[in-house]
Amino acid sequence: MALPLGLCNQVKLEVTEQDTAAAVGSGDVPVLATPRLIALCEQASTEALRAHLVDGQTSVGFRVEVTHLVPVLVGSVVLATASLERVEGKRVIFNVTVTDRCGLVAAGRVTRVVVTTGAFMEKAR
């Protein structure tokens, strides 16, 4: 797959009560939940790829490696950035970061696999 290295996308989120660890069941504190932060990173990488896929293709999550460094309060705005690091066949690896007004909140990698939607769904069980 020919994708431009450095392909980048950003997704912004204002943290709400629904985005907290207490709301999603990953803890009992009212701060941005790690699962929600990961979903934001996956969203940034998915949207970066979307325009480069052909009809009948999609990308699916394969691996997520993220270190969540600091808590973020409700009302804060975070920015998830996905930047294409490399392509290995059908695997597409993004460096991801999440920042807020004070700096780095999380960093890691998201690996997605480009698949044919129909063939992928046939394997679902």
**Distance between CA 105 and CA 81 in Å, rounded?**
12
Please choose, from the candidates 120, 118, 94, the residue with its C-alpha nearest in 3D space to the C-alpha of residue 108: 94
Residue with tokens 């907290």: 20
Residue with tokens 């990961």: 38
pTM, two decimal places:
0.94
CATH 3.10.129.10 fits 8-123, yes or no: yes
- Take residue 121 and report the two structure tokens written for it: 């769904």
**Residue ranges covered by each domain of the chain:** 8-123
Contact partners, residue 50, CB within 8 Å, separation at least 6: none
**Each residue's pLDDT tens digit in the chain (125 positions)?**
778 878 999 999 999 999 999 999 999 999 999 999 999 999 999 999 999 999 999 999 999 999 999 999 999 999 999 999 999 999 999 999 999 999 999 999 999 999 999 999 999 99
